[in-house]
Structure 1
Amino acid sequence: MHQRPFYLTLRALLSALLLLLFATQAQANAEPKAYQVTAADGVQLAVQESGNPQGQPIILIHGLLGSRLNWSKQLQDPALQQYRLITYDLRGHGLSSKPDSAEAYTDGRRWADDLNAVITATKAVKPVLVGWSLGGAVISNYLTYYGDKNLSGAMYVDGVIELKADQITSHPAVYRDMISTDLQTHLEGERTFLRLCFNQQPDQDTFDLLLANAALASWQMQQSVQSMSVAAEQGLGKAQVPIMLIYGEKDALVMPTAAIARAREFNKNIQTSLYANSGHAPFLEEAERFNQDLLHFVKKATSH
């Protein structure tokens, strides 16, 4: 009876084991999980995870009127699946609690406490933070109240450095309509705001989903968050971990040049990158480039 050489049998066995490992990992990565985390003041935060549960944690923090759905092009990127991708809906957004009091939104410490609660509950070791727009202000407040000792790095994406007129483009009519008690006016304000987020407008299905996403946001939050305290000088100023600022050059909501200049007053070591064809949402408008930049930043930030 003819017998196969031992090395061929061993090779076949190793190949089968590798296929099994890849299949197991793919299955693990294909099963996102969702759960609730309780913040310091009792707010329930909707948290979601996907990617490699054993990978380097990346916490993606959305902006005003958003939710985890904003990060779909990152959560679906095959190269990013090697990481543990953690998202959560900010207070007043998505599936998280929506407190009725103004203080729940104006006090920047509470947003920082929320992020700390997520990091603690998920046991995320040295995560990289990625904050879009309002999410940038959340990162700054976290850095102020908790420091960067538990972080690997932070990326601001068209991030709010300070809620000041010299850095935020004025759209008084839009922000007024967004908090109108008249439903049609309110919804039209939401729609206009979302259009302002993009230089390259998304396809209709994506825009409709984002608009439905916006409709979940608390009206009290939208009114109060305009007065949110942002401790950018203390937060960015004392950060020692790598900090990256990405802005779309055609941002119609935040002034990229002014925001970057102000951030550099606090921290001269920050890295910056401008996307010539993007508005306020380069992670959606130029997703392929953004994902590559994110991959590069994470590898650099975690290589120390």
Structure 2
Amino acid sequence: MVRTRFVEGSAGVRLAVDESGPASGAPSILFVHGLAQGRGSWEDVLRGRLAERHHLVAIDLRGHGDSDKPEGDAPYVDGAHFAGDLAAVIEQLGLLRPVVVAWSYGGVVVGDYLRSHGDDALGGLFFVAAALKTGKPARALFGAGMMSNARGLMSEDGATYEASARAFVEACAAGTLDASRVDASVRAMLRVPVNVRRALLSRAEDYSVELERCRRPVATLHGELDQVVLPAMSREVVLACARAGQGTWLPGVGHVPFLEAVPRFEDALESFVAQAATASS
């Protein structure tokens, strides 16, 4: 059963959180969603077999879903706020060395956390097609699914934004996503205000230094056919982080392996959680 609660994050921003699985005595996994998505991205995972033996937690980032949406740019371009939000979730939910799963733009949020708080409170990092570099210098690491829709994703015009959001969601899969899944993802995107979208897409970041300093186990999982965040991004993570193992590349899979390749995603994550627990003991 999925349970919903709220946590007070940085600067008093209220964050929506879903939990499933054992609330105590089980390894914790914290899921961080991508650009203009929400905790609903992980709904199938939270209701799946990992919940039998793991405490699963998924959050709505500030500006998304049921979390507060402060006005202006500063709450989103200052990475210390995202870092403080993750720290608040870990502390207030009593997560003991959680493995953090960062998908897509979630990599930026985790990079913010590492920059501000280090990795002492973490058990490991599991990057799923995650962006650890953004902005103009990193353009070559993003595919047509992102670049051809970026302008529309920042549009104030509702119809333009909705069309770009749908095109973006459809580009996330190597094949065809179920229509209900596409519709749900588009609805999530329509809840994200334009100031949030523009602020997030304006950021230029490089977390290579933070990855080099990371002392916790790190793994990458990336679809070989990803046209949003190119597989080259995960190769950069592996090169930057001394604790990163060999990256896992999924043939025939795009940007959403937790939807396109559920058993392989669950197996890879469960194996990594076990390895991280051994490394921490």
Q: What TM-score comes out, normalization by structure 1 length? A: 0.86
Tell me, yes or no, if the aligned pair for 1:168 and 1:255 is still in contact at 8 Å. Answer: yes
Q: 2:196 matched to 1:221?
A: yes
Distance 1:92 1:63, change over 3 A: same
Matches within 5 A, 1:19-168: 30=1, 32-54=2-24, 55-163=26-134, 164-168=138-142
Question: What's 1:291 paired with?
Answer: 266
Which residue type is aligned with residue 31 of structure 2? L
Distance 1:169 1:79, change over 3 A: closer
Which residue type is aligned with residue 157 of structure 2? D
Question: What's 1:270 paired with?
Answer: 244
Q: Which consecutive segments of 4 or more residues in structure 1 shift more than 4 A? A: 170-173
SS of 1:149's equivalent in the other structure is coil
Instruction: For 2:90 and 2:205, locate their aligned partners in 1 and report how far apart those are by CA, in whole Å.
Output: 20
Instruction: For 1:280 and 1:198, locate their aligned partners in 2 and report how far apart those are by CA, in whole Å.
Output: 6
Structure 1 stretch 166-175 or stretch 137-146: which is displaced more?
A: 166-175
Question: What's 1:4 paired with?
Answer: none
Matches within 5 A, 1:185-196: 185-196=160-171
Question: What's 2:234 paired with?
Answer: 260
* Largest Rg, 1 or 2: 1
SS of 2:208's equivalent in the other structure is helix
Report the alpha carbon displacement of residue 234 of structure 1 after superposing the two structures with TM.
Answer: 2.7
Report the alpha carbon displacement of residue 138 of structure 1 after superposing the two structures with TM.
Answer: 1.1
CA RMSD of aligned residues (A): 1.5
Q: Describe the superposition over 1:54-81 as per-residue Cα deviations: whole angstroms up to 9, x where unpaired.
A: 1111101111121111112211212432
Instruction: For 1:129 and 1:177, locate their aligned partners in 2 and report how far apart those are by CA, in whole Å.
Output: 30
Report the alpha carbon displacement of residue 230 of structure 1 after superposing the two structures with TM.
Answer: 3.3
Report the alpha carbon displacement of residue 83 of structure 1 after superposing the two structures with TM.
Answer: 0.7
Tell me, yes or no, if the aligned pair for 1:105 and 1:228 is still in contact at 8 Å. Answer: no
Report the alpha carbon displacement of residue 266 of structure 1 after superposing the two structures with TM.
Answer: 2.2
Aligned length in residues: 273
Report the alpha carbon displacement of residue 283 of structure 1 after superposing the two structures with TM.
Answer: 1.0
Instruction: For 2:197 and 2:140, locate their aligned partners in 1 and report how far apart those are by CA, in whole Å.
Output: 21
Which residue type is aligned with residue 178 of structure 1? L
Tell me, yes or no, if the aligned pair for 1:147 and 1:239 is still in contact at 8 Å. Answer: yes
Which residue type is aligned with residue 291 of structure 1? E
Instruction: For 2:201 and 2:195, locate their aligned partners in 1 and report how far apart those are by CA, in whole Å.
Output: 11
SS of 1:302's equivalent in the other structure is helix
Q: 2:177 matched to 1:202?
A: yes
Q: 2:147 matched to 1:184?
A: no
Report the alpha carbon displacement of residue 260 of structure 1 after superposing the two structures with TM.
Answer: 2.8
Report the alpha carbon displacement of residue 231 of structure 1 after superposing the two structures with TM.
Answer: 4.8
SS of 2:180's equivalent in the other structure is helix
Question: What's 1:301 paired with?
Answer: 276
* Identity within the alignment, %: 29
Q: Describe the superposition over 1:123-168 as per-residue Cα deviations: whole angstroms up to 9, x where unpaired.
A: 1111110010011111122112111111110100000010021212
Report the alpha carbon displacement of residue 267 of structure 1 after superposing the two structures with TM.
Answer: 1.4
